[in-house]
Chain A
Amino acid sequence: MPNKVNKPYWIWALGQTGIERRKTIDLAEFFILLLDRLGSEGYDTKTVIQGLETASMQLENQEIADVAAALAGRTDEEAYPRVREKSRTVLHTLLEAVQEIGPKQTDPESFAPLLLTALDKLSASFKEHIVKFHTQNFEANNRLEPFHLGNMLLCVHALEGIIQTLNPPFQNVHVPFGIDSESLRGVLDWTGDLDETEYHYWYQEFQDIIGAEQKG
């Protein structure tokens, strides 16, 4: 277990903007960032994480297990760069596995139906929320803008792309998807209060340091 309050993985990733070289974030890497972001927003990502844990056991794949552990908040922040490296292979590993399983995907013992059902439910719940509240983004004098709605829609597009990727007949494998790392802060900003959220975690970190110094 981590020995101090961790900032979530996606918040850590935002902090890399401007430090690291500008690049394109592919669907695989974005998949994990998006799951973490959805979890922070209160969506039920636990069953997806359980699906990933089951996949890691059935496929005997440590990388998926490590990524699932980070999503479940069981990873120290120092390990996030390695988590990100591993996250880039997770989608491909899952795709290879579901392609191999093929028709047996309906086998209740397999990780595939568990994971895909969980992703479907997550996407449905995210979409339901967007439809229900989308007009708020067009109201005058509201912090929410159409821009934030657009970012959520990009995320729905990504999530649907992931679901299509993992579902027969696997038609989404070659669909190009990429997010400019410089725009990650925007893409994951759904409520216009990302600066405050980041400040919250920065302040917790600051308090940890002060607390440690006082104890020392």
Chain B
Amino acid sequence: METPSFHNDVIEQLKDNPNWTWSAMNDEEKTSYLGLLLISFLDRLRYAEFDVDPVLNSLDQLIHSIDVKVSELYREQFILAPVIKHLNRYNKRQMELFEDNDKEYYSELMHLSQEMLNRLAMIHDVLRISKTEYAEIGSCYSRLINALIEMADHLDDLALRHFYAAFQDGKFESLAAICMGGGFLRSAAGAIEFRLTDDSYWEFGHRYYDLKALISLGKHFDFRTFDDDTNPLLPEVAELLFEGGSEDAE
């Protein structure tokens, strides 16, 4: 029996459920799904002591900057301001629930996470329609995308740095999860970018990520232990890590 956790709860909800058939989804549905997977993935990383704060902070900053804008908009855009306020209220609620991690509210958190990226896209659409100036919010969106990409790069670096030792230890499943995590985060970033601009550097619709594979780090997995820089590096790994190979990948 697995310990109750949001990510395990989501796994149970998704298992064999035909409503979550990636190949049958349109872009909007895929964005919903990626939002849900993203929050579940962050939840699993948090349990494994990975620093997810840069992404959470960038989300918080985005939500806060939207709130500030809503106050201004009430004076100029009487009709649109409540729409944004309403959508952003759900964003705040989602962040609270994620922080509290109370299993009584996993179902609500799942629902809110599922629509998170679409909500952010809708807020952006409404801001665009309002013809208001929203450069500050725009840079918050960029910071969120960058935080996801930086986290992806970090996972890639960890996978490369520790590949040999983990492989020799037979930790194939957890190593697989770390190898796939970076690609998944870039897909999530790509989905946000695509929904905001109709274009994205990171393609998100083609490749499906299985949440179970993404979070199968194994019981008691701890990134603080995994991220051990005393592991000997193969020469070709050192070359990639320190001469810019993987860091330049973006």
A178 to B207: give the CA distance in the assembly, Å. 19
A149 to B170: give the CA distance in the assembly, Å. 15
The segment from A20-28, A46-54, A91-99, A204-212 that touches chain B is: A20-28
Is the CB–CB distance between A150 and B180 below 8 Å? yes
Set A18, A140, A156, A157: member contacting B249, Cβ < 8 A: A140
Is the CB–CB distance between A156 and B159 below 8 Å? no
Would you list which residues of chain A between 134 and 168 have a CB under 8 Å from chain B? 134-135, 137-141, 145-147, 149-151, 153-154, 156-157, 160
Is the CB–CB distance between B175 and A138 below 8 Å? no
Would you list which residues of chain B between 200 and 250 have a CB under 8 Å from chain A? 207-210, 212-213, 234, 236-237, 240, 244-246, 248-249
The segment from B20-28, B65-73, B100-108, B134-142 that touches chain A is: B20-28
Is the CB–CB distance between A18 and B156 below 8 Å? no
Is the CB–CB distance between B167 and A154 below 8 Å? no
Set A135, A147, A151, A154: member contacting B237, Cβ < 8 A: A135
Is the CB–CB distance between A22 and B17 below 8 Å? yes
User: Which residue, of B16, B177, B209, B213, has the highest number of chain A Cβ atoms within 10 A?
Assistant: B213
Is the CB–CB distance between B213 and A139 below 8 Å? no
Give chain A residues whose Cβ lies under 8 Å from the Cβ of B183: 145-147, 150
Number of interface residues of A (CB under 8 A): 35
- Given contacts A139-B245, A140-B246, is CB(A182)–CB(B22) below 8 Å? yes
Number of interface residues of B (CB under 8 A): 41
Is the CB–CB distance between B207 and A186 below 8 Å? yes
- Given contacts A131-B167, A138-B240, A147-B179, is CB(A154)–CB(B172) below 8 Å? yes
- Given contacts A18-B21, A140-B245, A182-B21, is CB(A146)–CB(B179) below 8 Å? yes
Give chain B residues whose Cβ lies under 8 Å from the Cβ of A156: 172
Give chain B residues whose Cβ lies under 8 Å from the Cβ of A17: 23
Set B16, B18, B22, B248: member contacting A140, Cβ < 8 A: B248
A127 to B168: give the CA distance in the assembly, Å. 10
Is the CB–CB distance between A23 and B173 below 8 Å? no
Q: Is B15 an interface residue (CB 8 A)?
A: yes
Give chain B residues whose Cβ lies under 8 Å from the Cβ of A18: 21, 23-24
Set B159, B176, B212, B234: member contacting A151, Cβ < 8 A: B176
Shortest C-beta distance, B190 to chain A (Å), equals 13
Is the CB–CB distance between A149 and B172 below 8 Å? no
Majority SS of interface residues in chain A? helix
- Given contacts A21-B18, A150-B179, is CB(A182)–CB(B172) below 8 Å? no
Q: Is B117 an interface residue (CB 8 A)?
A: no
Q: Is B59 an interface residue (CB 8 A)?
A: no
A128 to B248: give the CA distance in the assembly, Å. 27
Would you list which residues of chain A between 88 and 141 have a CB under 8 Å from chain B? 127, 130-131, 134-135, 137-141
Q: Is B90 an interface residue (CB 8 A)?
A: no
A-B contact pairs, 23 of them (CB 8 A): A18-B21, A18-B23, A24-B15, A24-B16, A127-B167, A134-B163, A135-B234, A138-B240, A139-B245, A139-B246, A140-B245, A140-B246, A141-B249, A146-B159, A146-B160, A150-B159, A151-B176, A154-B173, A160-B172, A180-B208, A180-B213, A182-B21, A183-B210
Known contacts A138-B246, A139-B246; 15 further A-B pairs (Cβ under 8 A): A21-B21, A22-B20, A23-B16, A130-B167, A138-B156, A139-B245, A146-B159, A147-B179, A150-B180, A151-B180, A153-B167, A153-B173, A180-B210, A182-B21, A182-B22
Closest 3 CB pairs of A and B: A150-B179, A18-B23, A153-B176
